[in-house]
Amino acid sequence: MNSIDNQQQIQDEIAQDKYTIMKFDATWCPDYCKNVDRFIGDISSMLPRQRSK
């Protein structure tokens, strides 16, 4: 996974990749915000391998 720090990076990722998965995270968010951690690896592994930055 790559860290995205600004809106332009989001636009660049969406524009160039066939598949884009974005996980948003915040230090102030309670545990239920981290539920995606339970299945993000499974979803990512189902997609074709793309380049990594």
- CA end-to-end span of the chain, whole Å? 9
pTM of the model: 0.47
| Domain-located, residue 1 | no
Split into its structural domains, the chain has a count of 1
The residue whose two tokens read 């299945």 is 39
User: Exposed, middle or buried by CB within 10 Å (0-12, 13-18, 19+), for 38?
Assistant: exposed
Contacts of residue 18, Cβ cutoff 8 Å, sequence gap at least 6: 48, 50
Residue 2 belongs to a domain: no
**32 is in which domain, residue-wise?**
7-46
pLDDT at position 46, please? 77
The CA distance from 53 to 34, in Å, is 24
Is residue 52 assigned to a domain?
no
Q: What would the pLDDT profile of 4-47 be if each residue is shown by its tens digit?
A: 889 999 898 888 867 777 777 777 877 767 777 777 778 777 77
Determine the pLDDT at residue 50: 57
